[in-house]
Amino acid sequence: MPLMSRTERALYFFGRLLVRCFYRVTAIGLENLPAGGFLLVPNHISWVDALVLQLACPRPIRYVIDQEYFHKPLLHPFLRALGCIPINIRHSHQAVRAAAEKVAEGEIVCVFPEGQLERTGTLLRLQRGYELIARHANAQVVPVWLDQLWGSIFSFQGGRFFTKFPKRIPYPVTIAFGKPLKAETADVATMREELLKLGEVCFSRRPSLDRHLAEECVRGLKRRPFRTAVIDGMDHSELSRAKLLGAAAALSRYLRKEFSDERIAIVLPASKASMVANLAVTLANKVPVDLNFTMGRAANESCCRRANLRVAISATPFMERLKDFPWPERVLKLDELMPRMKGQIIFWLIISILAPARLLLRLLQIPKEGGHREAVLLFTSGTTGDPKGVVVSHRNVVGNVSQFRELLDARKTDAILGSLPFFHTFGSTVTLWYPLIEDVRIVTYPNPLEAGKCAALIDQYKLTFLLATPTFLRVYLRKAELEQLRTLRLIIVGAEKLPLDLASHFEKRFHKKVFEGYGLTETAPVVSVNLPGPEPRKPGERVQPSSRLGSVGRLAPGIAAEIREPETDRKLSLYETGMLWLRGPNIFEGYLDEPKRTAEILRDGWLKTGDIGRFDEDGFLYIEGRLSRFSKIGGEMVPHETIEQKIIDLLELSGRDERPIAIVGVQDEAKGEALVLLSAENIDLAALRKKLQEAGVPNLWIPKNVQRVEAIPVLASGKLDLKKCQERAAES
């Protein structure tokens, strides 16, 4: 191993001392570093990445850096003394040879493959320069992940470098070294996959993820106790963060005293009362179960029985609207109970303002850790059958809120319209727990389909975030006015695929882009999201892409992905199309009392999503459809959603408030399956077949029958009700 010069040793000695004053670096995977020369390939988050990476590595690192920075008068003497290798992107041959020589001499050479600093906190496209060096030197390649530097003053978090106050000193940083890869196997797809896996390992080690959800809420609500937490869009009443905490704390003491039940049902729409109820159940160290009151009696009876729900929280006016609901033994009516608790609420309000967070947590008897214990029980919408109980842990919710926070990077002035029901996973994490923990104001409204009233609330309270499903968003086209949505700076849809015609019509109508995200109840739910790109600082400046049409965005921090063959589980490249598997702190604990069903989709911490997807080289995820929305015909996988969109385009069926058609696969003796077109419109099959053939659609993809229906069956969330669609298709 080459010896360092005296100057180099002095620089390393004083440099390490200086960096240790400001950063506390934890290195994991040091045993993976080869003894001789090799190539280091890290992500690139901040201006101090090289310094903290050197602090974590026991041997000197030779960095390949841009020639422009290498020759800056102030930096040049130090960079030269440290053996840095200058590179000119247009003429890189000399730098490649120099780096290969250093590796051959037993040195560690580091290349930042993104070629620039991340400005969104997510991994960018990997340039292939490191591959040239690795193959030229026949060197092993070690992926390395730098975690938690996003948010430091040297990162672009908040849209600026340097002009931020440090959150902590010393600032904690985790650096994970992966297992070395041979030069011939270290292609960009493999390297991206390995970096994401290391990122997941680092993120999952964060101590904050093991906190109890109630602790996160208490700490979040105490940060700015006098700011408005929630405004009820029905009666326009408000609760400050302190009042919300005081009311929930008082109710939580009552629940602890009166009920030994582990889980408590909540039967309320999105509202101020529902937020108090959910927070109170969590503060009582119990599990809130928001029931989907739109599912019908039989489905809710099943949910109550399986979750052993004997107590429910609701309100008299709402109970009167639910004519056929299977209420448990005890129902707490908030409109009757809370006025009787006025004294306790005032007491806990004062305590919540005056007591430090640590003391308040002790008084409320909040456990020090939540971890993998059940925090929330959600029932799936039952698109393919009976609802499944999804056990979401404290770690899942706290982790996903943290992931969403890093993606969204909310400002102090931001405010959310909370119209999604809390029994929906998107509504639960993003419009309930996220605002409580992250100090984001929320305005609730119980019915997302009343777009006119929702739009009026957006206008009245100058809301900036609209989170919806495509089905709910479509109603805005008919019922909202242009001026009412002018304050929105971010519109995100999830839960179902965003039709491109809807995105286009919405942008033309309101001059606002719609950004698609992706998630599952089993992922708590946020997996990925498209986001607005940074504004160029000068004309013609290239900015890093934050969204891509047709994709569902880049993965949230701390999530790793694999693409596998649907039938054999054989691992494929991230850039190939196959079954999407995910790993991260937001992956659920399993289905309630269904170990066999859990084992089918959870393996060694990896979740089989059931979705067919692929990644592009910039890391954007494309979902081709759910496996349940493919038919295998003549040995070929035929995507239902692709055919639906083609038919909608050819027959000009876009722009409607409701789904016009749905493709369903039914059993067929000759080819295994056949396609049936369910249609709420009168369609001539022969004419449609001709149009599809002229458009180049394969014969296998053309529906065999058309089944006329009054309306396409959908669930309350707007998702296609596949079970009922299958029943209607079978009638043909």
Q: What is the pLDDT of residues 18-61, one digit of tens each?
A: 566 677 888 899 999 998 888 899 998 887 788 888 888 888 88
Q: Give, in degrees to the nearest 5, the angle at Cα 261 between 258 and 265.
A: 100
Residue 77 confidence (pLDDT): 60
DSSP conformational letter for 429: I
Pairing of strands 171-177, 228-232: unpaired
Q: For residue 71, count other CB atoms closer than 10 A to its CB.
A: 12
pLDDT value for 297: 84
* CA pair distance 553, 405, nearest whole angstrom: 16
What is the average pLDDT across 481-510?
88
Burial class (CB in 10 A: 0-12, 13-18, 19+), 187: middle
pLDDT of amino acid 635: 63
Q: Which strands sit side by side in the sheet containing 672-679, from one edge to the other?
A: 661-668, 672-679, 705-708
Over 80: is that where the pLDDT of 603 sits? yes
Q: Which fold, 6-205?
A: Glycerol-3-phosphate (1)-acyltransferase (3.40.1130)
Handedness of CA 455, 458, 464, 468 (dihedral sign): negative
Three-state secondary structure readout of 339-407: HHCHHHHHHHHHHHHHCCHHHHHHHCCCCCCCCCCEEEEEECCCCCCCCCEEEEEHHHHHHHHHHHHHH
Reading phi first (left if > 0) and then psi (alpha if -120 to 50, else beta), residue 192 is in alpha
Residues of the chain above pLDDT 90, percent: 43
Note whether 652 and 636 are within 8 A (CB).
no
CA distance 126 to 111: 11
Can you give the pLDDT at residue 559?
95
Mean pLDDT of the region 555-584: 92
Q: With 70 as the cut, is the pLDDT of residue 357 above it? A: yes
Higher pLDDT, 162 or 613: 613
Q: What percent of the chain clears pLDDT 70, i.e. is strictly above it?
A: 88
Residue 276: what pLDDT?
A: 96
Q: For residues 621 and 550, is the Cβ–Cβ distance under 8 A?
A: no
What is the Cα–Cα distance from 487 to 689, expressed in whole angstroms?
Answer: 45
pLDDT number for residue 396: 95
Length of the chain: 732
Q: Which CATH architecture has domain 634-730?
A: 2-Layer Sandwich (3.30)
User: Rounded mean pLDDT of the chain?
Assistant: 85
State how far the Cα of 27 lies from the Cα of 590, in Å rounded to an integer: 32
**Of the candidate ranges 354-363, 378-387, 427-436, 491-500, the one whose mean pLDDT is the lowest:** 378-387
Residue 380 pLDDT more than 90?
A: no
Average pLDDT over residues 391-395: 95
**pLDDT digits over 615-645, tens only?**
999 999 998 877 767 776 766 777 788 888 8
Q: Say which residue, 159 or 141, is predicted with more confidence.
A: 141
Vertex 92, ends 91 and 94: CA angle to 5°?
Answer: 100
Query: Is the pLDDT at 15 greater than 70, yes or no?
Result: no
Average pLDDT over residues 373-384: 80
* β-pairing verdict for 606-615 and 602-603: antiparallel
pLDDT at 589: 92
720, 383 contact by CB (below 8 A):
yes
CB-based contacts of 222, cutoff 8 Å, min separation 6: 241, 242, 245, 352, 357, 360
Tokens at residue 381, please? 């919408």
| Backbone phi, psi, residue 614, to 5° | -160, 165
- pLDDT confidence of residue 199: 93
Q: What single DSSP character describes residue 536?
A: P
What's residue 515's pLDDT?
94
Among 42-56, 356-370, 646-660, the range of highest mean pLDDT = 356-370
Q: 381 pLDDT exceeds 70?
A: no
pLDDT value for 113 = 87
Express each pLDDT in 169-210 by its tens digit. Answer: 777 888 999 999 998 888 999 999 999 999 999 999 999 999
Whether the pLDDT of residue 595 is over 80: the answer is: yes
DSSP state of 326: -
Convert 603-660 into a string of H (helix), E (strand) and C (coil): ECCEEEEEEEEEECCCCEEEEEEEHHHEEEECCEEEEHHHHHHHHHHHHCCCCCCCCC
Q: How far apart are CA 731 and CA 713, in angstroms?
A: 14
Domains 6-205 and 634-730 are alike in CATH topology? no
**If pLDDT is split at 50, 70 and 90, which confidence band does 79 have?**
low
Q: Does 428 score more than 80 pLDDT?
A: yes
Domain 213-532+548-612 belongs in CATH node 3.40.50.12780: yes
What DSSP string describes 297-310? HHHHHHHHHHHT--
pLDDT at 178: 93
Find out whether 488 and 512 touch, Cβ atoms under 8 Å.
yes
**Stretch 368-384: mean pLDDT:** 84
**pLDDT at 575 exceeding the cut of 60:** yes
Question: Is the pLDDT score of 101 beyond 90?
Answer: no
Identify the pLDDT of residue 709. 84
Residue 417 burial (10 A CB sphere; 0-12, 13-18, 19+): buried
Q: Give me the pLDDT at residue 631, please.
A: 76
Question: According to the model, what pLDDT value does residue 697 have?
Answer: 81
Domain extent listing, the chain: 6-205, 213-532+548-612, 634-730
Least confident piece of the model among 243-257, 434-448, 538-552:
538-552
pLDDT, residue 218, reads 95
Q: Is the pLDDT of residue 718 over 90?
A: no
Classified as helix, coil or strand, 121 is: coil
Q: What is the mean pLDDT of residues 700-705?
A: 82
Residue 104, pLDDT score: 84
